[in-house]
Amino acid sequence: MTTEKPLPDPADTPPHATAAAARPRGTVTDPAALAPTWPEEFAERYRAAGWWRGETFGGMLRERAAAHPDRVAVVDPATDRRWTYGELDARADRLAAGMLARGIAPGERVVVQLPNIAEFFEVVFALFRIGALPVFALPAHRETEIAYFCRFTEAAAYVVAAEHGGYDYRALAAHVRAEVPTLRHVWVAQGDPGEFEALADVAAPAPARPDVPGPAPHDLAFLQLSGGSTGVPKLIPRTHDDYLYSLRGSNEICGVDEHSVYLCVLPAAHNFPLSSPGTLGALYAGARVVLCPQPGPDTAFPLIEREGVTLTGLVPPLALLWTRAAETTSHDLGSLDVLLVGGAKFSEEAARRVRPALGCALQQVFGMAEGLVNYTRLDDPEETVVTTQGRPISPDDEIRVVDDADDDLPPGATGHLLTRGPYTIRGYWNAPEHNARSFTADGFYRTGDIVRLTDTGHLVVEGRAKDQINRGGEKIAAEEVENHLLAHSAVHDANVVGEPDPYLGERTCAYVILRPGAEPPTALAVKRFVRARGLAAYKVPDRVEFVDAFPHTGVGKISKKDLRAAAAQRPGTP
Ligand code: OOB
């Protein structure tokens, strides 16, 4: 039994811990009404199969804290803090009580943009306890993205660190608050809060429990961001039941138990380090999470040695860097049992180097924030581990490989991957038009990935049909960047494609047709223009090329295929 309950005696609850009258009486959009869900017969099947067990995140932490309050849950090396399960649980309660007192209501959205610091977990578990929904932004996001997330989700609050990586998030917050009327609070989790409220002051000063019933297991837990292929990112509604199942399944496949130590190297809010098996998988298992402030080997290797890290997850460019650095490191990496690599295609040659260099097992992971996650298994033959991207977590993950007309292809053929299952969403948040395109009538998600199934049921990713660039695991929707390029007064038309890059796998090239008669900008000026639009830096085109015309297909559409081919032949120029 894991559903949250208020304290039995309300008299024990300090006044600030109640959902006080302070909350504006404006309408709180009912999040469930905006999120398509599984038809009842599927939900029943997933419950009967034992995939959905009626747990919630708030209840999960409560249970772990009761079972082993003194075990370390989260290590934050940058600030030399070690929070036990008991402490994390109590902190989440106090923060939830403080947020309720400030009018955050169940179902409301709170944009969370934090680096890899302990407060990330305090904040998300506080929100889980209330039943308010974290919206997971990445530290790289800037004004354009954050304002959009806040506006689109009608967010009530936004949580940042004062500074990170030389960037001042308070300035970003001031900008966003001025633009988004629903945003009632900005909370600063670390550093000088400036004009905003420090998160430490939001938390109730004395032990307190949030005076709300808490969410039900089938309720939404959070909104995750899609990599996307459209002009603006789509939001992915995940429930407690479905996400917790993906954690349990991932833990089993990756051998995570209470003795594991997970190093969180990638940005904590991303679905891969969050759940595959990630920090939440580790906490589910009662294991230890170590937050890595920087992803490079210079930071990570000493932490692996000091904390006895047993597993971690990396995108391919980082895996390459680590593999190279491991050959000469003086640090003892002997505790590392498993390295998960995913987010983008890991080349076979690089995959072969992992075990000899790092002395650990490799698991490839091919996942998506929309749901489906595939892993190579720890007992798979080496050839399978280095040549495939794994097989699904669940026996109830349905996989279809189809042609352009949605007809199933014969076994082993290469085609579009469609999927449906107990932890794959049935639709994006508040996006009926996208949903009609991104899902089949019977609920399969169109992943946009081109795959082939081996006779052992493993998937090999062969390409991509979606108009997206995968820049070393960071996803860029071509249309989003094209829209920003088109805002330049000298730009007549623009197309963004991926081109091969030896380190990132792919990088971006923008083909631009200038407006006749306009003062021609330099490539650098165009990049600066995009940057100044308030976009995450990874979305700024790596290369800008001016052309007179775009190649066309037989029916007169612009041929991105030909542009990609042209870009592939001319890499190297900035
Ligand atoms: C992960 O999630 P997202 O949502 O950032 O991106 C999903 C997309 C997939 O549809 C695919 O196009 C690509 O990223 N991808 C891979 C891959 N893993 C992801 N392409 C080739 N090989 C792989 N191993 O990226 C994500 C979520 C959970 C776990 C791992 C990765």
Closest atom, ligand 1, to C-alpha of 276:
29
Q: How confident is the model at residue 10 (pLDDT cuts 50, 70, 90)?
A: very low
CA atoms within 13 A on the CB side of 241: 21
Please name the residues in contact with 328: beta carbons below 8 A apart, sequence gap of 6 or more: none
Mean pLDDT of the chain: 93
Q: Cis peptide before 210, with omega less than 30 degrees from 0?
A: no
Q: Which atom of ligand 1 is nearest to the CA of 364?
A: 24
3-state secondary structure of 146: helix
The binding-site residues of ligand 1, defined as CB within 6 angstroms of any ligand atom, are 227, 271-272, 276, 342-345, 364-369, 373, 389, 447, 449, 461, 464, 470, 475
Half-sphere exposure of 384 (CA within 13 A, CB side): 17
Calpha distance 461→366 (Å, rounded): 8
Q: Is the pLDDT of residue 75 over 60?
A: yes
Report the nearest atom of ligand 1 relative to the CA of 341: 24
Q: Which residue is closest in CA terms to ligand 1's atom 3?
A: 368
The answer to whether residue 7 scores a pLDDT higher than 90 is no
CA angle 243, 248, 250 (to 5 degrees): 90
**Per-residue pLDDT tens digits for 345-399:** 999 999 999 999 999 999 999 999 999 999 999 999 999 999 999 999 999 999 9
Statement: residue 21 has pLDDT above 70:
no
Cα 316 to ligand 1 centroid, rounded to whole Å: 11
Are the C-beta atoms of 372 and 447 separated by less than 8 Å?
yes
569 pLDDT band, cuts 50/70/90, is confident
Please give the pLDDT value at position 28.
57
Q: What is the pLDDT of residues 164-180, one digit of tens each?
A: 999 999 999 999 999 99
Q: Looking at the predicted structure, is the pLDDT value of residue 342 above 90?
A: yes
Q: How far, in Å, CA of 440 to CA of 443, rounded? A: 5
Instruction: Walk me through the domains of the chain, giving residue ranges and CATH numbers.
Output: 85-215 (3.40.50.980), 468-569 (3.30.300.30)
Positive or negative torsion for Cα 66, 71, 75, 81: positive
Q: What is the pLDDT of residue 14?
A: 36
Ligand 1 atom nearest the C-alpha of 226 is: 4
The Å distance, Cα 342 to ligand 1 centre, comes to 6
- Distance of CA 345 from the midpoint of ligand 1 (Å): 8
3-state secondary structure 41-91: HHHHHHHHCCCCCCCCHHHHHHHHHHHCCCCEEEEEHHHCEEEEHHHHHHH
- Three-class SS state of 266: coil
Ligand 1 mean position, distance from CA 450 (Å): 12
pLDDT of residue 262: 99
**Among protein residues, the one whose CA lies closest to atom 7 of ligand 1:** 368
Ranges 123-132, 221-230, 334-343, 349-358: which has the least confidence: 221-230
| pLDDT tens-digit map of 482-496 | 999 999 999 999 999
Cβ atoms 104, 132 nearer than 8 A: yes
**Which residue's CA is minimally distant from atom 8 of ligand 1?**
368
pLDDT at 491: 97
Q: What share of the chain is helix, strand, coil (3-state, %, to 5)?
A: 35, 25, 40
Q: In ligand 1, which atom is closest to the CA atom of 461? A: 21
Find the 372 Cα to ligand 1 centroid distance in Å. Answer: 10
Minimal-distance CA residue to ligand 1 atom 12: 449
Q: b or e along 375-413 (b: 16 or more beta carbons within 10 Å of the residue's beta carbon)?
A: bbbeebeeebbbbbbbbbbbebbbbbbbeeeeeeeeeee
Find the 140 Cα to ligand 1 centroid distance in Å: 18
Give residue 344 CA to ligand 1 midpoint distance, Å.
6
State the maximum Cα–Cα separation within the chain, in Å, rounded to a whole number.
75
pLDDT of residue 18: 36
Atom nearest to 389 CA in ligand 1: 24
> Crossing angle, helix 57-67 and helix 85-101, to 10 degrees?
140
**What spacing in Å lies between the alpha carbon of 461 and ligand 1's midpoint?**
10
Instruction: Please tell me the predicted confidence (pLDDT) of residue 29.
Output: 66
Pick from 349, 329, 393, 386: which is nearest to 367 by CA? 393
Name which residue sits closest to atom 2 of ligand 1, judged by CA.
368
pLDDT confidence tier of residue 570, bands split at 50, 70 and 90: confident
Taking residues 111-119, report their average pLDDT: 98
| Cβ contact 252:379 at 8 Å | no
Cβ neighbors of 202 (< 8 A, separation 6 or more) are: 95, 98, 99, 102, 187
Q: What is the pLDDT of residues 447-484, one digit of tens each?
A: 999 999 999 999 999 999 999 999 999 999 999 999 99
- pLDDT at residue number 232: 84
Mutate to test the pocket of ligand 1, among 364, 368, 391, 461 (most ligand atoms within 8 A of CB): 368
Centre of ligand 1 to C-alpha 271, Å, is 9
368 Cα: distance to centroid of ligand 1 (angstroms): 5
Asked whether the beta carbons of 287 and 260 are under 8 A apart, the reply is yes
CA 464 / ligand 1 centre spacing (Å): 11
For ligand 1, atom 14, name the residue with the nearest CA: 343
Nearest CA to ligand 1 atom 6: 368
Radius of gyration of the chain (CA): 23
Binning pLDDT at 50, 70 and 90, where does residue 33 land?
Answer: confident
pLDDT for residue 573: 46
Q: What is the total residue count of the chain? A: 574
**Ligand 1 pocket check: which of 229, 235, 366, 467 to mutate, most ligand atoms within 8 Å of Cβ?**
366
Element (H, E) at 348: helix 348-358
pLDDT digit string, tens, across residues 521-566: 999 999 999 999 999 999 999 999 999 999 998 888 899 999 999 9
Please classify residue 561 by burial: count the beta carbons closer than 10 Å to its beta carbon, then call 0-12 exposed, 13-18 middle and 19+ buried: exposed
Look at residue 555 in the predicted model and tell me its pLDDT: 85
